[in-house]
Structure 1
Amino acid sequence: MTRANRAKTRIGTAIALAAALAPLAAQALGSADLFYERTLMRAADDRCGLFAPQISTALDAAASQARGAALRSGTTAAALSSVESRAKAKAAATPCASPDLT
Protein backbone atom coordinates (compact mmCIF):
# COMPACT_ATOMS: atom_id res chain seq x y z
CA MET A 1 0.00 0.00 0.00
CA THR A 2 1.40 3.36 -0.93
CA ARG A 3 1.76 6.24 1.45
CA ALA A 4 -1.07 8.12 -0.30
CA ASN A 5 -3.39 5.12 -0.01
CA ARG A 6 -2.61 4.72 3.70
CA ALA A 7 -3.40 8.38 4.26
CA LYS A 8 -6.70 8.02 2.39
CA THR A 9 -7.55 4.94 4.42
CA ARG A 10 -6.82 6.74 7.69
CA ILE A 11 -8.88 9.74 6.66
CA GLY A 12 -11.74 7.49 5.58
CA THR A 13 -11.58 5.61 8.86
CA ALA A 14 -11.58 8.86 10.84
CA ILE A 15 -14.59 10.14 8.91
CA ALA A 16 -16.48 6.87 9.38
CA LEU A 17 -15.70 6.86 13.10
CA ALA A 18 -16.83 10.47 13.49
CA ALA A 19 -20.05 9.72 11.60
CA ALA A 20 -20.70 6.66 13.76
CA LEU A 21 -20.11 8.51 17.04
CA ALA A 22 -21.99 11.71 16.17
CA PRO A 23 -25.46 10.28 17.01
CA LEU A 24 -24.17 9.05 20.37
CA ALA A 25 -22.82 12.50 21.20
CA ALA A 26 -26.09 14.11 20.14
CA GLN A 27 -28.07 11.59 22.18
CA ALA A 28 -25.92 12.22 25.24
CA LEU A 29 -26.48 15.95 24.88
CA GLY A 30 -30.21 15.43 24.42
CA SER A 31 -30.52 13.21 27.48
CA ALA A 32 -28.57 15.65 29.64
CA ASP A 33 -30.78 18.49 28.37
CA LEU A 34 -33.91 16.54 29.31
CA PHE A 35 -32.46 15.84 32.73
CA TYR A 36 -31.72 19.56 33.16
CA GLU A 37 -35.25 20.60 32.18
CA ARG A 38 -36.96 18.03 34.37
CA THR A 39 -34.70 18.73 37.33
CA LEU A 40 -35.29 22.47 36.97
CA MET A 41 -39.06 22.01 36.92
CA ARG A 42 -38.93 19.59 39.85
CA ALA A 43 -36.90 22.11 41.90
CA ALA A 44 -39.22 24.94 40.88
CA ASP A 45 -42.22 22.83 41.88
CA ASP A 46 -40.66 22.10 45.27
CA ARG A 47 -40.20 25.83 45.84
CA CYS A 48 -43.33 27.23 44.20
CA GLY A 49 -45.91 24.42 44.37
CA LEU A 50 -46.56 24.57 40.64
CA PHE A 51 -48.12 21.14 40.13
CA ALA A 52 -50.66 18.77 41.65
CA PRO A 53 -49.12 15.88 43.62
CA GLN A 54 -49.71 13.39 40.78
CA ILE A 55 -47.86 15.64 38.33
CA SER A 56 -45.01 16.15 40.81
CA THR A 57 -44.66 12.38 41.16
CA ALA A 58 -44.64 11.96 37.38
CA LEU A 59 -42.02 14.71 37.11
CA ASP A 60 -39.82 12.91 39.64
CA ALA A 61 -40.09 9.73 37.58
CA ALA A 62 -39.34 11.60 34.36
CA ALA A 63 -36.24 13.20 35.89
CA SER A 64 -35.03 9.79 37.06
CA GLN A 65 -35.62 8.32 33.61
CA ALA A 66 -33.77 11.19 31.94
CA ARG A 67 -30.85 10.73 34.34
CA GLY A 68 -30.70 7.03 33.54
CA ALA A 69 -30.86 7.69 29.80
CA ALA A 70 -28.05 10.22 30.08
CA LEU A 71 -25.89 7.76 32.00
CA ARG A 72 -26.58 5.00 29.47
CA SER A 73 -25.65 7.32 26.62
CA GLY A 74 -22.26 8.05 28.14
CA THR A 75 -22.74 11.16 30.28
CA THR A 76 -20.74 10.80 33.48
CA ALA A 77 -22.27 10.97 36.93
CA ALA A 78 -20.04 13.98 37.67
CA ALA A 79 -21.37 15.80 34.60
CA LEU A 80 -24.96 15.05 35.65
CA SER A 81 -24.22 16.32 39.14
CA SER A 82 -23.10 19.58 37.56
CA VAL A 83 -26.24 19.68 35.39
CA GLU A 84 -28.38 19.09 38.47
CA SER A 85 -26.64 21.90 40.37
CA ARG A 86 -27.16 24.32 37.48
CA ALA A 87 -30.84 23.37 37.22
CA LYS A 88 -31.44 23.84 40.94
CA ALA A 89 -29.62 27.19 40.92
CA LYS A 90 -31.71 28.35 37.96
CA ALA A 91 -34.92 27.26 39.71
CA ALA A 92 -33.89 29.07 42.89
CA ALA A 93 -33.15 32.27 40.95
CA THR A 94 -36.35 32.25 38.87
CA PRO A 95 -39.43 33.95 40.37
CA CYS A 96 -42.39 31.62 40.88
CA ALA A 97 -44.60 33.79 38.64
CA SER A 98 -42.05 33.86 35.83
CA PRO A 99 -43.39 32.98 32.36
CA ASP A 100 -40.43 30.59 32.12
CA LEU A 101 -42.08 28.42 34.77
CA THR A 102 -45.78 28.90 34.15
Structure 2
Amino acid sequence: MPYANEMVDRQVGRNAELFAEAIADIDTPRERYPYLRILVSLVDQAHPEWRQAPNKDEQIVSLVDELSKGTLDTEEVTEVVQVREQELKQGML
Protein backbone atom coordinates (compact mmCIF):
# COMPACT_ATOMS: atom_id res chain seq x y z
CA MET A 1 0.00 0.00 0.00
CA PRO A 2 1.63 3.27 -1.06
CA TYR A 3 1.73 6.15 1.43
CA ALA A 4 1.79 9.83 0.53
CA ASN A 5 4.47 10.67 3.10
CA GLU A 6 7.67 9.10 4.33
CA MET A 7 7.97 7.41 7.68
CA VAL A 8 8.88 9.67 10.56
CA ASP A 9 11.34 7.15 12.00
CA ARG A 10 12.38 3.93 10.28
CA GLN A 11 13.53 2.32 13.52
CA VAL A 12 10.06 2.67 15.02
CA GLY A 13 8.26 1.94 11.76
CA ARG A 14 5.08 2.75 9.90
CA ASN A 15 2.82 0.63 12.12
CA ALA A 16 3.85 2.59 15.21
CA GLU A 17 3.16 5.80 13.32
CA LEU A 18 -0.32 4.62 12.36
CA PHE A 19 -0.83 3.40 15.94
CA ALA A 20 0.08 6.86 17.31
CA GLU A 21 -2.42 8.51 14.98
CA ALA A 22 -5.12 6.03 16.04
CA ILE A 23 -4.47 6.63 19.75
CA ALA A 24 -5.29 10.30 19.23
CA ASP A 25 -8.80 9.30 18.17
CA ILE A 26 -9.53 7.70 21.57
CA ASP A 27 -11.79 9.91 23.66
CA THR A 28 -10.37 10.12 27.17
CA PRO A 29 -6.89 10.16 28.71
CA ARG A 30 -7.83 7.17 30.85
CA GLU A 31 -8.71 5.14 27.75
CA ARG A 32 -5.56 6.34 25.91
CA TYR A 33 -3.18 5.54 28.78
CA PRO A 34 -2.52 1.82 28.10
CA TYR A 35 -2.01 2.48 24.40
CA LEU A 36 0.38 5.33 25.13
CA ARG A 37 2.32 2.97 27.40
CA ILE A 38 2.65 0.53 24.51
CA LEU A 39 3.72 3.28 22.10
CA VAL A 40 6.32 4.67 24.53
CA SER A 41 7.66 1.15 25.01
CA LEU A 42 7.95 0.67 21.24
CA VAL A 43 9.89 3.91 20.90
CA ASP A 44 12.16 2.99 23.81
CA GLN A 45 12.90 -0.44 22.31
CA ALA A 46 13.56 1.06 18.87
CA HIS A 47 16.08 3.53 20.29
CA PRO A 48 18.27 1.76 22.86
CA GLU A 49 20.93 4.44 22.29
CA TRP A 50 18.69 6.91 24.17
CA ARG A 51 18.67 4.85 27.37
CA GLN A 52 21.66 6.68 28.86
CA ALA A 53 20.83 10.09 27.36
CA PRO A 54 20.13 12.80 29.93
CA ASN A 55 17.19 14.08 27.87
CA LYS A 56 15.70 10.68 27.01
CA ASP A 57 12.22 11.70 28.19
CA GLU A 58 12.20 14.75 25.92
CA GLN A 59 13.41 12.71 22.95
CA ILE A 60 10.66 10.13 23.38
CA VAL A 61 7.95 12.76 23.82
CA SER A 62 9.20 14.63 20.75
CA LEU A 63 9.21 11.49 18.61
CA VAL A 64 5.74 10.45 19.79
CA ASP A 65 4.54 13.95 18.89
CA GLU A 66 6.01 13.56 15.40
CA LEU A 67 4.56 10.07 15.01
CA SER A 68 1.08 11.34 15.88
CA LYS A 69 1.50 14.42 13.68
CA GLY A 70 0.93 16.60 16.73
CA THR A 71 -2.46 15.12 17.59
CA LEU A 72 -1.47 13.70 20.98
CA ASP A 73 -1.19 15.93 24.05
CA THR A 74 2.52 16.21 24.86
CA GLU A 75 1.82 16.72 28.57
CA GLU A 76 -0.12 13.47 28.64
CA VAL A 77 2.72 11.66 26.86
CA THR A 78 5.28 13.22 29.20
CA GLU A 79 3.36 11.90 32.19
CA VAL A 80 3.30 8.39 30.71
CA VAL A 81 7.05 8.51 30.01
CA GLN A 82 7.80 9.70 33.55
CA VAL A 83 5.68 6.98 35.15
CA ARG A 84 7.36 4.36 32.99
CA GLU A 85 10.82 5.68 33.87
CA GLN A 86 10.01 5.57 37.59
CA GLU A 87 8.89 1.96 37.23
CA LEU A 88 12.08 1.08 35.36
CA LYS A 89 14.20 2.68 38.08
CA GLN A 90 12.32 0.74 40.76
CA GLY A 91 12.72 -2.49 38.84
CA MET A 92 8.99 -2.95 38.29
CA LEU A 93 9.31 -3.53 34.54
Q: The TM-score by the shorter chain falls in which range? A: 0.3 to 0.5
- TM-score, normalisation: structure 2: 0.38
Return the structure number with greater helix share.
1
- TM-score, normalisation: structure 1: 0.35
The higher relative CO (CA closer than 8 Å, separation ≥ 6) is in 1
Larger radius of gyration: 1
